[in-house]
Amino acid sequence: MENLNLTNVRVRIAPSPTGFVHIGNLRTILYNYLFAKHYKGKFIIRIEDTDQSRFVPGALENLLGVLQWAGFENDEGPFITPENTLGEKGEFGPYIQSARLKIYHDYIQQLLDKNKAYCCFCPKERLEKLRADQVANKKAPKYDNFCRNLSREEVQSMLAGGTPHVIRFKMPENKEIIVKDIIRGNIIVNSKDLDDYVLMKADGFPTYHFASIVDDHLMKITHVMRGEEWIASAPKHVLLYEAFNWQPPLFAHLPQLLSKSKKKLSKRDGDASVQDFIEKGYLKKALLNFIALLGWNSGTEQEIYSMDEMIKQFTLDNVHKAGAVFDIDKLDWINGVYIRELSIDEFYNECLPYLVNSDLLSISGEKLVINETGERVKPGFVKDILSLEQTRIKRLNEIPEAIGYFFRHELDYQPEALIWKKSDREQTIENLQNLIKLLKKIKLHEFTKENLEKLIFEFLENKSIDTGSMLWPMRFALSGQAKSPGPFEIADALGRKKTIERIESAIAKLQNQ
Ligand code: GLU
């Protein structure tokens, strides 16, 4: 691998505020952050907003919000202040490109003076026709260098007349360009495959290529880590560094994210915004852990990493170039691991918003209100219920459905569902009636999972009753669903009164059938 100078690492993420942060963007952000932290370098944010037509309101705030959520504090660049306004820090600012136009104008002048760039006055119509002809002739669309050799006088008079123009890079002819990529080795391209691309647009804004290399140079960026889709731009960048006589940074193009069918990730496969994943109930630690593994591994079998472990172990040696498969089942599994690590209080705090948003509960001071019944309950009641699902769910948004039955006034199910496959209606009614008698015998403070289990099993054994013919209807009567935690656990969490009520209501349903 390239002999890296890793003593003064400065990396940047350079998002364009053209949409909300996606999983792929988060991976780029994470790798840059891990790299900076691993080498005790600087993590910089620069906003590339030079394409004003693609600006999406709210995108910058979304980005900074995601960084705050992830806990990635940048050393330089924009940030959200404690007063919730937009601040900026660092000595290489401004860090928002639209505020740096003067800088780009000064640097483009240098290239014009060195004869490395030129003004192009071709009207849009001419360029469109040129392109259409090339496509019709099955040629790769390329600018034909029409304005490359205009005389100084011609240029001056067009400029004086205010003719709209762009500034193009003067592509050297037949030159081998080497992009040094840490992950992929040398990427070699010939300049004859590139054209005189635009550096400055007619609206006076620089293109991405130009602004980005001027800024990477001025901000002393040492490593450029970004998605594979930018590889095609890298030779243009290398040439610009040469034109200025600047030392280019080292590049690392990160592997593409692929769906399980090895196609480019689409929205359906999970290429959704980070916000969507958060709302689905993926925990921050799980999401970051999973994303770290999309292109990197530590060289061991380890799959669960804390942030500190990732920082310690992350290097570019272990980032691979083959596409990384986005496997949502693996994300679910990792999320499950982190959910089980939460204390019950943490789990409760994570789940409460889902219960409130799904209208099951409302918060009333220290207490909670069950919306359907109006009953006020203590958080401990909800914690007991939640603890039944903590080992079962994979995403927090499964919680309202999983435990909704605890908060219903009446459960809605067909009475036949209460009957165990080896039993019948009469037997089920009788078993449930016996069950009520048993439950009524247990003192309120002894109404625990363990006691219930002991008492009911003793009864079943004495009477030689099949366990399923009592426990199935009991569990169904309490939950109203075919899959749920065990009957004793549910009864314990529900409490004696509600448990008896639900069993009585099941008997009534069977009797009225
Ligand atoms: N502005 C580019 C983006 O939106 C940055 C690419 C780069 O990192 O050079 O991702």
Using one digit for the tens of pLDDT, what is the confidence trace for 108-136? 999 999 999 999 999 999 999 999 999 99
State the chain's mean pLDDT as an integer.
95
User: What is the per-residue pLDDT across 221-244, written as a single tens digit (0 to 9) for each?
Assistant: 999 999 999 999 999 999 999 999
Q: How many other CB atoms are found less than 10 A from the CB of residue 507?
A: 21
How much is the average pLDDT of 496-502?
Answer: 96
Q: What is the pLDDT of residue 170?
A: 98
The CB of 226 under 6 Å from ligand 1? The reply is yes
Atom of ligand 1 nearest to the CA of 18: 4
Of 267, 378, 463, 497, the catalytic one is 267
Between CA 214 and CA 11 the distance in angstroms is 15
For residues 288 and 313, state if they share a domain: yes
How much is the average pLDDT of 374-403?
Answer: 96
Q: What is the CATH number of the domain that holds 476?
A: 1.10.10.350
Q: Does the pLDDT value for residue 437 go beyond 60?
A: yes
Q: Which residues does 343 contact at the CB level (< 8 Å), separation at least 6?
A: none
User: What is the per-residue pLDDT across 192-220, written as a single tens digit (0 to 9) for each?
Assistant: 999 999 999 999 999 999 999 999 999 99
For residues 168 and 238, state if they share a domain: yes
Domain boundary among 207, 233, 254: 254
Active site residue 267: yes
Please count the structural domains in the chain: 4
Portion of the chain with pLDDT greater than 90, in percent: 92
Band the pLDDT of 1: cuts 50, 70, 90: very low
For residues 351 and 478, state if they share a domain: no
Question: How many angstroms does the Cα of residue 15 sit away from the middle of ligand 1?
Answer: 5
For residues 118 and 181, state if they share a domain: yes
Q: Pick from 20, 48, 207 the residue to mutate for probing ligand 1's pocket: most ligand atoms within 8 Å of its CB.
A: 48
Contact 121, 72 (CB under 8 A): no
Q: What is the pLDDT of residue 102?
A: 98
Instruction: Establish if 337 belongs to a structural domain.
Output: no
For residues 72 and 111, state if they share a domain: no
How much is the average pLDDT of 163-192?
Answer: 96
The CB of 323 under 6 Å from ligand 1? The reply is no
Q: What is the pLDDT of residue 52?
A: 84
For residues 210 and 154, state if they share a domain: yes
Q: What is the pLDDT of residue 272?
A: 79
Between CA 192 and CA 197 the distance in angstroms is 12
Domain boundary among 192, 227, 254: 254
Domain encompassing residue 449: 415-511
The CB of 215 under 6 Å from ligand 1? The reply is no
Atom of ligand 1 nearest to the CA of 224: 8
Instruction: Establish if 299 belongs to a structural domain.
Output: yes
Q: Does the pLDDT value for residue 387 go beyond 90?
A: yes
Between CA 476 and CA 482 the distance in angstroms is 7
Instruction: Establish if 123 belongs to a structural domain.
Output: yes
Instruction: Give me the count of residues in the chain.
Output: 513
Instruction: Establish if 364 belongs to a structural domain.
Output: yes
How much is the average pLDDT of 411-435?
Answer: 96
Q: Of 262 and 404, which is predicted with more confidence?
A: 404
The CB of 32 under 6 Å from ligand 1? The reply is no
For residues 134 and 104, state if they share a domain: yes
Q: What is the pLDDT of residue 226?
A: 98
Band the pLDDT of 2: cuts 50, 70, 90: very low
Instruction: Establish if 34 belongs to a structural domain.
Output: yes
Q: Produce one character per residue of 454-470: b if its CB has 16 or more CB atoms within 10 Å, e if not.
A: ebbeebbeeeebeeebb
Beta bridge partners, 497, equal: none
For residues 74 and 123, state if they share a domain: no
For residues 398 and 461, state if they share a domain: no
Residue bearing the CA closest to ligand 1, atom 5: 14
Q: Does the pLDDT value for residue 260 go beyond 70?
A: yes
For residues 250 and 261, state if they share a domain: no
Q: What is the CATH number of the domain that holds 204?
A: 3.40.50.620
Question: How many angstroms does the Cα of residue 225 sit away from the middle of ligand 1?
Answer: 9
The CB of 223 under 6 Å from ligand 1? The reply is no
For residues 400 and 388, state if they share a domain: yes
The CB of 216 under 6 Å from ligand 1? The reply is no
The model's pTM is 0.92
Strand ranges across the sheet with 117-120: 117-120, 166-169, 198-200
Question: How many angstroms does the Cα of residue 57 sit away from the middle of ligand 1?
Answer: 18
Instruction: Establish if 378 belongs to a structural domain.
Output: yes
Instruction: Establish if 236 belongs to a structural domain.
Output: yes
Q: What long-range pairs does 51-59 form, CB within 8 A, spacing at least 24?
A: 51/16, 51/18, 51/205, 51/208, 52/98, 52/203, 52/205, 54/16, 54/18, 55/17, 55/18, 56/17, 56/18, 56/19, 56/20, 58/20, 59/17, 59/18, 59/19, 59/20
The CB of 48 under 6 Å from ligand 1? The reply is yes
Question: How many angstroms does the Cα of residue 129 sit away from the middle of ligand 1?
Answer: 30
Band the pLDDT of 270: cuts 50, 70, 90: low
Instruction: Establish if 468 belongs to a structural domain.
Output: yes
User: What is the per-residue pLDDT across 319-363, written as a single tens digit (0 to 9) for each?
Assistant: 999 999 999 999 999 999 999 999 999 999 999 999 999 999 999
How much is the average pLDDT of 63-76?
Answer: 96
For residues 387 and 479, state if they share a domain: no
Domain boundary among 407, 424, 459: 407
Band the pLDDT of 509: cuts 50, 70, 90: very high
